[in-house]
Structure 1
Amino acid sequence: MDATPSATPLARKSAAGACTPSKSASPAARASSAAPPPTSTAPATRRTGRPGDRSGPDTCAHADLENRANFRAVAKFTRLILMSHRIPTFPALPLLLALAVTARAELATTKLDFNRDIRPILSENCFTCHGPDTNKRKAELRLDVKDAAFGKGESGEVAVVPGSLEKSELIRRITTKDKDDVMPPPKDHKPLRPAQVELLKRWVKEGATWTGHWAFEPVKQPPVPAVAGATNPIDAFVHARLKLEGLTPAPEEEKARLIRRVSLDLTGLPPSIAEVDDFVKDSAPAAFEKVVDRLFKSPHFGERLAVPWLDLARYGDTSGYHNDSLRDMWLWREWVVNAFNTNMPFSQFTIEQIAGDLLPKATIQQQVASGFHRNVMTSDEGGIIESEYLNLYVVDRVATTGVTWLGMTVACAQCHDHKYDPITQRDFYQVYAFFNNVPETGKDGVRDRNPKPFLKVPLPEQEKELQRLDGEIAGAQKAAEEFNRTLPEKQLAWEKETAQAAEPKGPVVRFTLDENGNGTSDTRQAVAATAHGESAFVDGTFAKGYETKGQGWLEYGDKFGFEKDQPFSVAAWVRPEAAGGTAFAKRDAGDAAPGWEIEFKGQKPSFYLVQKWPGEIIHVEAEKAVAAKVLSHLAFTYDGSGKAAGVQLFVNGAPEKLIVRTDKLAGSIKSAAPFRIGRRNADASPFNGIVEDLRIYGRALAPEEAASLTASALAALPPEQRKPEHKDPLQKAFFQKLGTNPGVFAKRVDDLKKSKAGVEKAMPNTMVMAEMDKPRDTFMKVRGAYDQNGDKVTAAVPAFLPQIPARADSKPLNRLDFAQWLVSPQQPLTARVAVNRWWAMIFGTGLVKTANDFGSQGEWPSHPELLDWLAADFMRDWDTKRALRQIVLSATYRQSAKAAPALLARDSENRLLARGPRQRLDAEMIRDNALAIAGILNPALGGKSIKPAQPAGTWEINEMSGYNYQKSTGADLYRRGLYVYWRRSTVYPSFVTLDAPTREFCVAQRAKTSTPLQSLVLMNDPVFVEAARAFAQRILQQGGADDPSRLAFAWRTALSRPPSEKERAVLDRTLQRQLATYSQDKEAAKKLASVGDLPKAPGLDDTQLAAWTAVANVLLNLNETISN
């Protein structure tokens, strides 16, 4: 049943614009929000100690610290451990006591940092009532602004007096026992912890140093610490921190594990055994660097980086709302992959996606790039309120831009000023104005097609074809122009030549049609005629003529008769004044009368050869009529074959198509009847018109001869005597002589243009951004309500950030100005957010854990100086590959991921980076990894989305409009997960289970959960079972001649490293058990050996294949296999 007009937006609104504290806020703060944030931030991964997990057992109480522990103060970390209700077993107690002692010492000696130690306390506990939101502010006191915090409040008291605990109202209020005065108020259920109170007191006592929020300060590159042995700035910052923490870096990872890690991190695919062997054998210092550079050149690098970017862009193959109708945005996805592969500067990458359509002379690909913000969900439901949905689309664009480039929860300012950050509601709608000029409607008006604005984009092969056609069109047009330019001169020369040319030889007779009606025979003897009826001899255009006036005729006696095997031709200038009638005949009346005849059927000339009427004749008729009251030259020729095919008609020198009415001539056509001009006999239908220059030949004229009769006559006619009807036949005769004409050239151009139009029609299209000719007015929305306009605003960036200079042309700011501002040197957030995202991709967690929130509620960076160094370095050239290269080439990245229990207890999340990264692969990569290991991955890049096998009936669960999941076929089944069809209401089931987002909204970081259902998917999902079967085939075909060799091959293929003896033994026992099982159950073996669409390799035993499939399934399920 369709949703009501208000149901869908209300259901989505919490996600589009609700204000929710970040994951680092207190549980009480998080619980107070009734709606999820507009973006998704992943909770920390909780490992389950599955086989192959080399991080050690971390399912003790410390695992619970992953969402609560904050490493910005050792004291706070220790206190959380001691307060935990799940105390570890007694052997760990000395470690905890030691940490507590260390924490007290560091608490007393560590210099306070306002942003790290004080602002988070104020933000989490005070800003709701004493922060940026003017509507919620109490007592006119602000604790987010220095001047306000250090000035007098509404009561006249000063909240913070540097150096004086007694005079600081803040300290009095947080330490009082009076329930009416204590802050935060008990009703808020957010009491300060004793350690937080002590930090605030110490801060005030030490002078209350206040600094601006770290993320909003200009990016400045700090000096690299001088650390012995550090050859990479990253290592220098990390090792300096480790030294302060009393920790040492882990040793470098084993080479086989390291190449697997970096291959998965940079391409999403495992290395081949050959690639592993080459690296392991290469002892050169630059061996790893060579591997990294090879991976950056791989086309799969772009695919790897595209996945998290598609999460941010909320990419989907459907519209999302209501019917979740189909759309085509895969061309934009292809642009993203290509941009990463070509290492497009991130500044350009940003500008083209925000405003590629506004760039001067924007290319097709720059316009395609602007589709970033057309990925927004849309609705085609008939009953919606369009202005409501249009508002939703723009709100989503603002929220997505805020998270993607600013790392800010700007959506919290949709309804009111932000509660924690200096983003006002006016700021929100000023940014909204940048995106409020797209020529779209709330209801997109189409289903299963892209709504406007969209752009047709040629595929590579179509691009080549268009280039070829454009070249040929240009050539054909040039040839036509040159032909037409020289045509008059050529025709004049031809006319002179033709007028003087000799006429065709050998007429039996040429009728002068003088007043006596005489003709001249080939022997130059006169041929006398008898005139009948009212008629007249006239001065014709080309010669003397005879006008029948519809009554008269000329009769010549028994002349010009032919037999059926004798060729002959009849040619004359004829002007029909009325339809019908016989123009020439050598035939009498009566059905038995033989002979030949030229008659007009209406205005169409017909030719008859008659033995006996009507059955034994040849009758042909012109397909087209000749013009009435216009002098035309007709020439019928007959080749003496006795067949209709031997008859030809030339009109004005050009061959005319004939329709065969009868073709049954068998006997003689010899006739003793007189030859007549004007009718067949006295009783037959007369011809009404004029005849000039009648000639009869005793042979069939060749086409060029027939043409010359017209051409020579017309060419000899002085130009001043030529009538309009003469121009066309004269030109046609000229063109026939040339063998071409302007029409041929024009048709060539037209045909090429039609071919081009056909290619263009077949081109796919993709949605793009565009600007309206007349921009929409933008208003603040009262409490965020779409239909409640407040103040009118114009486009601008948030006031607390550096502003965009006024345009030189005084025009209003547009999206291009905004896009350029995002990557300007003065803008402090974009570079920090970007490098933090790359860091999170490689290490699992960013230097700032809250990837979507760099504001007051976000987490303090684990290594703030390193973050700023990376951001400043990145801004030099916005080179993504260079930024990632220095990360993965660092010793920090190359560390072993193994961790001792003490280190896990101290730093379970590896925020201090004392060991190498280890994280579970994303959903798409888990599938890709399985297919690659199995040897069936289709590495083709780009193209439309594909539909691999999924449980039957999945789409039908949310079905509203009759869509059926049509599984792909052939090699498409095994393409990378990036290309899997993304239906937002019903995302590919295994991906959802493995924590892929729906992409209904922008997602900054995926969750990494560990559930039993995930294991079931990896064991039983059709794709993974088929991958296991394909892997088994590969093992049996490539792994060697015996089981030990095959086991080693299988292990190395899946994990890149050789198995230990213990691992080999376990795997061998598994194989033997499976062989025994399937030896007893041949039917089950046969079924498993043929599962999936991949053809079974010939010659493989079902029992062997089934057993090895089970072993392969185990290998694909190892925690180590699905981790990097």
Structure 2
Amino acid sequence: MPPLAVLQIFRAGSLFVVAGILAFSAPAVAKEAVDFNRDIRPLLSDRCFHCHGPDSESREGGFRFDMRDSAIGEADSGQRPITPTDPATSEMLRRLVTEDAAERMPPEGSNKERLTDQQIQMIRDWIAQGAPYEKHWAFIPPRRSAIPDVKQTDWPQTSIDRFLLASMEQRGLSPSAPAERAMLLRRVSFDLTGLPPTPEDLQAFQADQSPDAYQKVVDRLLQSPQFGEKMASTWLDAARYADTNGYLQNGYRVSWPWRDWLVQSWNQNLSYDRFVTELLAGDLVDDATDATRLATCFLRMHMITSEGGSLDEEFRVEYAADRAETVGTVFMGLTMNCCRCHDHKFDPFPQQEYYQLFALFADPQGEDPVKDHSRDPAFVPFVKLDQTNYAGEAARLGQCVREASQRNNENAAARLTLQKDMLTSGLPVMVMKENPAPRQNFVLQRGAYQNPDKNRPVQPGGVDAVLQWKDELPRNRLGFAQWLTDPEHPLTARVEVNRIWTTLFGRGLVDTQEDFGQQGSYPTHPELLDYLAVEFRESGWDRKALMRRIVLSAAYQQSSQITPRHRELDPTNRWLARVERRRLSAEAIRDQALFVSGLLNAQLGGFAAMPYQPSKLWIEGANSPGYGRGKYVLTSIYEPSSSSELYRRSIYTFWNRNAPPPQMVIFDAPGRSFSSVSRTVTNTPLQALVTMNDTQFFEAARVLAERVLADEDLTDDRAKLANIMRRCTGRLLTAENEAMLLDALNTWRKQYQAEPQRAERLLAAAGQHPHDPKGNASECAAWTMIATTVLNFDATLVVN
């Protein structure tokens, strides 16, 4: 552990606080007309729909607030909830303001807060306007919005900027100055590749004064193989990707060929409509190949049980429900799981439509939901991939076997040999296969597998409340993919645009990526969202072009500096008059440490790697992949990889569903038992303990120290410090940091020179990467502590 002196330096220069400001305080602006979708529907949905909404089973009072005709009609009480243009006689308003606890709404015990005076006034104004209703904004097909006029005409570089600037000007805000070049390069490098720029990249960009210097950088990054790796990391969460099945037996599965397909699809810029089609129905397209069939592994990535007491029908239902709910969340931003047991309580989705979606995924040909105690790496239906497609992986495995044997790592060598055997005999990967004689599905009463309502049969289909199914579409997964990518579908393009916007700005135009329904957030910039959705669709669903357009905008290139005016008018950065400072993702934090030290193994694809993690972590429960469980096994005692395999990018880390990689989880990665389309961002002491003490990070610090000590161009301490700072943060060494770090360096030198054995022990314990014992151990140990300090700087762990 570092001594108190370095901890004080670390705390002074490195720790950052993530301020969670949940309430938005809008500046004083001219009073706008009340907008139903923006202002009223969210209140009704949050406070009223549970009892007066779509779900007939929980509806009270004989009326519903989600339909205007009902809301302005006569309730069971004989009163009219809403009298258009006449707030005084609207029973709704009387119930909102009364002090009579028996009549007040929301009622006591509902766990719903009373509306504020401002919210009540807004409802009063809306009723006075005639109580106009609109269809929920997300269920109206997007139309190309007119690009707004702005006053500050010299700032916008793209149409995106005009939409954002119009909102800023309306609220008395002005855009921030452009970011410093080094900070901009670091930001866009992480956003497009998940890796920082090198000192050489920074120097070249600073020196290039041509008008298109930044554009050239963006184009280079978009063509980088690392682009696909970065973008795939988000989709691994959404797809609930893992290398084990979960549940008690938690057997090993072959998932990684799908992960490699995902990376390749991004690097090849597969159009989003084709991407969706292959994920959902790659086996049904006219030009189906093993590669397109492989894409449908997305639908088989759910947890799978092989426990002897499990029931086939129960898990047939569970698997189909997982597929339906994953598809609803990932492609449409809908909470379809809410209507598995009853009509949706907030959105206009009857239970019947949930089971239409369910029926699309309920009966793959040959699927056996429960294989009693099976340890197979894939359950039918699966495709067996020929080894000729993976010649490079065979060579890599051979090298890794040799490295493991050289280190006497017998468990790793055995695992790698088994993987080579699997590659030779063909890789079995679970996929979808249409059943030529599918069973009849029914609505399940209360969602229970054993209670089908034989009076309510369903045929496969979409969500009619979103878009009516066209008669010419086949009632299968291919028809569903065509339904999703129909030009009139209101959600598909919006949801993907919002996901990409979130990747690049840290928050979406719609805050709730997982919920575009009536309980979700209203867009901050609805016209911009619709403009981009239409542009995206009409460009041929080109995701690289969309990302290029966004990162070339002036808005993306702004500084992240917060001014007093920002704090006053837009504390949560809702209107994007600056760029949000963001902590790096779990993957980027680890990958950056490997990259700046020179340890990173940049080889793409292949079997999952086993980086360092605490010993015996997998064996804590009886649910780990273990010895004696079939031909293809992994040890239940976690055995790290050897040599080069240790330093692969984080998306290649083995993902055990019941014991996810602890480094990732501590930095907010989800467990992946279920689909997740967004991550929370926390700031905890455990994170500092990982980056300061975990073997991977401490080894990276030691190798980074050795790297600067071996660089003959770095002739003094200041040059070495500047090099470490530049690599880790992209910044120049300030006088303040230089003074602190030099003081710490001298402190460490004295300690290790006085106790050279302590320095030797420190260096010997820092990972598998070879250390030259002939070097000056005391000097290397001192610089290792400096490197680990800089790797923990706030400027290292965030992008500005």
Does the 8 A contact of 1:804 with 1:817 survive in 2?
Answer: no
Q: Which 10-residue stretch deviates more, 140-149 or 177-186?
A: 177-186
1:1079-1098 correspondence runs (5 A): 1079-1090=753-764, 1091-1097=766-772
Partner of 1:922: 585
1:150 positional shift: 2.5
Cα distance in 1 for partners of 2:483, 2:270 equals 18
Deviations 1:615-637 (A, max 9, x none): xxxxxxxxxxxxxxxxxxxxxxx
Pairing 1:796–2:461 present = yes
Partner of 1:816: 478
Partner of 1:327: 253
Deviations 1:232-285 (A, max 9, x none): 111101111110110111100000111011000100001111111111111111
1:1055 positional shift: 1.2
Partner of 1:118: 40
Q: Which amino acid aligns with 2:164?
A: V
Deviations 1:1018-1058 (A, max 9, x none): 11111111111111111111261211111111111111221
Partner of 2:541: 878
Change (3 A) 1:902 1:1077: farther
Please give the secondary structure, in 2, of the residue aligned with 1:117: helix
Alignment counterpart, residue 1063 of structure 1, candidates 734, 737, 749: 737
Does the 8 A contact of 1:51 with 1:1119 survive in 2?
Answer: no
Partner of 1:912: 575
Cα distance in 1 for partners of 2:735, 2:248 equals 57
Partner of 1:182: 104
Partner of 1:392: 318
1:982 positional shift: 0.4
Does the 8 A contact of 1:352 with 1:370 survive in 2?
Answer: yes
Cα distance in 2 for partners of 1:309, 1:1112 equals 33
Partner of 1:604: none
Please give the secondary structure, in 1, of the residue aligned with 2:797: coil
Scaled by the length of structure 1, the TM-score of the pair is 0.64
Q: Which amino acid aligns with 2:794?
A: N
Partner of 1:1008: 681
Pairing 1:805–2:470 present = yes
Does the 8 A contact of 2:51 with 2:58 survive in 1?
Answer: yes
Alignment counterpart, residue 856 of structure 1, candidates 505, 513, 518: 518
Does the 8 A contact of 1:312 with 1:1002 survive in 2?
Answer: yes
Alignment counterpart, residue 655 of structure 2, candidates 967, 979, 982: 982
Q: Which amino acid aligns with 1:848?
A: V
Alignment counterpart, residue 441 of structure 2, candidates 774, 778, 782: 778
Does the 8 A contact of 2:24 with 2:571 survive in 1?
Answer: no
Pairing 1:222–2:145 present = yes
Does the 8 A contact of 1:253 with 1:894 survive in 2?
Answer: yes
Cα distance in 2 for partners of 1:233, 1:112 equals 27
Partner of 2:491: 829
Q: Which amino acid aligns with 2:739?
A: A
Please give the secondary structure, in 2, of the residue aligned with 1:765: strand
Q: Which amino acid aligns with 1:867?
A: L
Cα distance in 1 for partners of 2:17, 2:643 equals 43
Q: Which amino acid aligns with 1:854?
A: F
Partner of 1:749: none
Alignment counterpart, residue 368 of structure 2, candidates 425, 438, 441: 441
1:832 positional shift: 0.6
Cα distance in 1 for partners of 2:461, 2:91 equals 38
Partner of 1:1052: 726
1:1098 positional shift: 6.4
1:179 positional shift: 2.4
Does the 8 A contact of 1:370 with 1:768 survive in 2?
Answer: yes
Cα distance in 1 for partners of 2:610, 2:433 equals 31
Q: Which 10-residue stretch deviates more, 912-921 or 254-263?
A: 912-921
Partner of 2:80: 158
1:899 positional shift: 0.5
Does the 8 A contact of 2:49 with 2:66 survive in 1?
Answer: yes
User: Post-superposition, which runs of at least 4 consecutive aligned residues in structure 1 deviate over 6 A?
Assistant: 463-466
Unaligned runs of 5+ in 1: 1-48, 75-98, 467-757
RMSD: 2.0
Does the 8 A contact of 1:431 with 1:798 survive in 2?
Answer: yes
1:759 positional shift: 10
Partner of 1:569: none
1:916 positional shift: 1.5
Cα distance in 2 for partners of 1:960, 1:931 equals 31
Partner of 2:289: 363
1:766 positional shift: 1.1
Partner of 1:931: 594
**How many residue pairs are counted as aligned between the two chains?**
743
Alignment counterpart, residue 560 of structure 2, candidates 893, 897, 900: 897
1:761 positional shift: 5.3
1:452 positional shift: 1.1
Does the 8 A contact of 1:311 with 1:1003 survive in 2?
Answer: yes
Cα distance in 2 for partners of 1:768, 1:175 equals 57
Does the 8 A contact of 2:363 with 2:439 survive in 1?
Answer: yes
Please give the secondary structure, in 1, of the residue aligned with 2:442: strand
Alignment counterpart, residue 208 of structure 1, candidates 112, 131, 147: 131
Alignment counterpart, residue 21 of structure 2, candidates 65, 81, 98: 65
Cα distance in 1 for partners of 2:461, 2:430 equals 26
Please give the secondary structure, in 2, of the residue aligned with 1:308: helix
Pairing 1:1119–2:794 present = yes
Deviations 1:974-1018 (A, max 9, x none): 000000000011011111111111000010101100000110011
Cα distance in 2 for partners of 1:1041, 1:197 equals 70
Does the 8 A contact of 1:893 with 1:917 survive in 2?
Answer: no
1:209 positional shift: 2.3
1:137 positional shift: 0.6
Partner of 1:307: 233
Pairing 1:275–2:275 present = no
Please give the secondary structure, in 1, of the residue aligned with 2:778: helix
Alignment counterpart, residue 237 of structure 1, candidates 148, 163, 186: 163
Does the 8 A contact of 1:58 with 1:904 survive in 2?
Answer: no
1:1083 positional shift: 1.6
Pairing 1:1036–2:709 present = yes
1:206 positional shift: 2.0
Q: Which amino acid aligns with 1:869?
A: Y
Cα distance in 2 for partners of 1:1098, 1:888 equals 47
Q: Which amino acid aligns with 2:458?
A: V
Does the 8 A contact of 1:215 with 1:854 survive in 2?
Answer: yes
Q: Which amino acid aligns with 1:1082?
A: P
Pairing 1:256–2:212 present = no
Q: Which amino acid aligns with 1:844?
A: G
Does the 8 A contact of 1:982 with 1:988 survive in 2?
Answer: yes
Please give the secondary structure, in 2, of the residue aligned with 1:806: coil
Q: Which 10-residue stretch deviates more, 326-335 or 1081-1090?
A: 1081-1090
Change (3 A) 1:862 1:1003: same
Cα distance in 2 for partners of 1:1050, 1:1120 equals 12
Scaled by the length of structure 2, the TM-score of the pair is 0.90
Does the 8 A contact of 2:609 with 2:641 survive in 1?
Answer: yes
Deviations 1:398-434 (A, max 9, x none): 1111110010111000011111111111110010000
Alignment counterpart, residue 639 of structure 2, candidates 955, 958, 966: 966
Does the 8 A contact of 2:319 with 2:362 survive in 1?
Answer: no
Unaligned runs of 5+ in 2: 1-9, 395-420, 627-635
Cα distance in 1 for partners of 2:777, 2:286 equals 64
Alignment counterpart, residue 452 of structure 1, candidates 359, 380, 384: 380
Name whichever structure is richer in strand by fraction.
Answer: 1
1:361 positional shift: 3.7
1:462 positional shift: 5.2
Cα distance in 2 for partners of 1:410, 1:926 equals 34
1:151 positional shift: 2.4
Cα distance in 1 for partners of 2:422, 2:599 equals 33
Name whichever structure is richer in helix by fraction.
Answer: 2
1:824 positional shift: 1.1
Cα distance in 2 for partners of 1:464, 1:928 equals 22
Does the 8 A contact of 1:946 with 1:972 survive in 2?
Answer: yes
Change (3 A) 1:1042 1:305: same
Does the 8 A contact of 1:456 with 1:760 survive in 2?
Answer: no
Deviations 1:273-302 (A, max 9, x none): 111111111111111000000000000000
Cα distance in 2 for partners of 1:129, 1:50 equals 51
